[in-house]
Amino acid sequence: MMRQYELVERVRRYNPSANEDLLNRAYVFAMKAHGAQKRASGDPFFSHPLEVAAILTDLKLDDATIVAAVLHDTIEDTNATREEIDAVFGPEIGGLVDGLTKLNRLDFATKHAQQAENFRKLLLAIADDARVLLIKLADRLHNMRTLNFMPEAKRGRIAQDTLDIYAPLAGRMGMQGLRSELEDLAFRYLMPDACGLIMTRLEELKSKNGALIARIAAELTDQFARRGIKVEVKGREKLPYSIWRKMERNSISFEQLSDIYGFRILVSAVADCYAAVGVAHTTWPAVPGRFKDYISTPKQNDYRSIHTTVIGPGSQRVELQIRTYDMHEIAEYGIAAHALYKDSAGHVEPIDAGESRAYRGLRQTIEALASDDSEKFLEHTKLELFQDQVFCFTPKGRLIALPRGATAIDFAYAVHTDVGNSAVGAKINGRIAPLISTLRNGDEVTIVRSDSRTPPAAWDSVVVTGRARAAIRRATREAAKTQYGGLGRQIVERAFSRAGKKFSEAKLRAALSRLARASIDDVFISVGRGELFSADVVRAIYPDFQEDRKAGPALAPGEAGWFGLAKAANLVFRVPGKEENGDPLPLRGVDWDTPVRFAPRGGAVPGERIVGIRTPKDGITIYPIHSPALVEFDDKPEQWLDVRWDLDTATKAHYPTQIQVTTLNEPGALGVISTTIGETGANIDNVVFNPTGPDFQQVRFDLQVFDIQHLNAIIAQLRDKPVVSKVERLSG
């Protein structure tokens, strides 16, 4: 285990003015806090944060980052508190440590929900301070180096998380060396047979070609020296996971790989990079299609280099990566290279990590996705941050980097929100193409615009970038407000007039919580779209109001089958299942002397995080944590209750929720839907129709389901039906 003076010495090697007292205090504080705790290996637990700090000293990071690394497990695994860290080390270090602390003291309905919420907290902390990311990656790296001491049942899960999240995140930040080690360590545990076979083949290849590789490196150095270009040649061997991934992706054998060995040509200036390319291509034949210039068009993670492949000495294919020393530093250390200490007039200062284009892009992506609930945030982040990228161009030559699988719609929103909102068509490489076309590397994209255009809500399910999705949702809300708001107001005002009641916006605003709407505009829009009955609005203000119901509507031309009959008869469906039995709700944290109910629209089901809102009129209302109705209570923390599910796994009960199905308006469609729901064991309490045109119907189903998994299964099965166009869950 590293000694106290050794930690200080490691930092002083690259930062002579390091705060020795701060480092010493952190060492002693963490050592006392962790006390006699042990790791799975039997080593003192305190050895782990010291090793994490050691990894970060190799990256030459500032004192606060090193201290936060030493302390990073104190809040989570000891009795130390954030307040104590702030008092002893200051709020800057306290914030870093808190950003790395899991939410393990909260109750979660599922392990996946806990993982998603922890991941959300981590990324939001990273968006505030890049150093949180550096500490977390170093923490994961040391845990992977010692994974063999963990129980076998946990190794696979930890390795998979590393491969799915942390290694790609390191790559996105340009930290290629750290990414490669994380990938290889995970590969050993996830696919030990494949890893062992590749390592055996590499050893055989090394013993066979060792002399040839040394000869190629010597000849490369000699050829560049003859042309007056001073270079440093470094050989590199492709790592097992990288080899396996390329074999899988391209469906080729080990013998067909041409870039297992490569050479990095390091020069002093950018001009020397291009001069070196000239030397390479005039000395040896270049392999067609193997030239890539990442200097003129850097990758999103700030990577810059020239790649080319030549038929080199001994008629061997030789991959060359030509870059400056500064570029090499960025390629290896990525975002960490922006925080390196540099001597300036006798003292050292850290460079602002905000200079990193990779970090800036990461922060913007996190901010765009932050409005999603935790589990959607996890899935959307995996899709957007951790996919390979494509690079496309505007007609004026501007480079746009997008996730692989992105469409022309994503491209339009990446250029500017107004361009995306007004897009009506696209030209890809000069040819007219659908906006949903998937883009490829090097495409030149021209967006055709119309000022009168509003983006269709259906685009939300087509795009892959968070920026496009958020912009489409905003535009859809504004369009709905324009299209349905005025109509809804007229309907509400007429309803009040028929009821002999006086309409008042002030009274309606006070009743928003009962209508599960965040604003008056939302009420009008919902009424205008048929999602909310005008009588319900009247009743929200005047609870004693009773509507005189009349016969159901006559069948319109073309309304037939289940839809027509159900609409004309005002049918309510109930599929056989367990009914409400009057037992108390399975909740913890509520006062049972107060009336308790679920949110009037959308409900809440086990498996999702919930909160309670106490109001004088309604008692306690239970909302899912993502409910937009909670916005009204943002400035009323005294009304919030920490409510949790208290479920008996042996007992299956139903809970209310709502879904909206857009389906083809044809005979038998409703029968297919109701049968599908019934086969899952759910109850249908009510069906509400909202005609959207001659071809489609929107149908809202009030359901009773077991939990969130049950609800998701219903939605997935409905989406597979040919008569169903769209299914979405409603939320109050």
212 contacts 314 by C-beta, under 8 angstroms? yes
What crossing angle do the helices spanning 91-99 and 63-71 adopt, rounded to 10°? 50
Q: Which of 76, 237, 444, 547 is catalytic?
A: 76
Residue 185 makes CB contacts below 8 A (sequence gap 6+) with 144, 145, 147, 159, 162
Helix boundaries (H) for 349-425? 357-369, 374-385, 408-415, 417-421
631: its two tokens: 């916005």
Residue 347 makes CB contacts below 8 A (sequence gap 6+) with 17
Q: Check the CA dihedral 435-437-438-442 and report its sign.
A: negative
652: its two tokens: 């299956």
Specify the DSSP class assigned to residue 110.
S
313: its two tokens: 């000495």
Residue with tokens 């909206």: 660
Q: How many residues does the chain have?
A: 732
Residue 375 makes CB contacts below 8 A (sequence gap 6+) with 112, 113, 116
Specify the DSSP class assigned to residue 336.
G
Rounded Cα distance, 325 and 266, in Å: 6
462 contacts 410 by C-beta, under 8 angstroms? no
Q: Which of 9, 20, 43, 77 is catalytic?
A: 77
Which DSSP string corresponds to 652-677? ---EEEEEEEEEE-STTHHHHHHHHH
Active site residue 76: yes
49 contacts 70 by C-beta, under 8 angstroms? yes
232 contacts 190 by C-beta, under 8 angstroms? no
726 contacts 662 by C-beta, under 8 angstroms? yes
Q: Which residues are catalytic?
A: 76-77
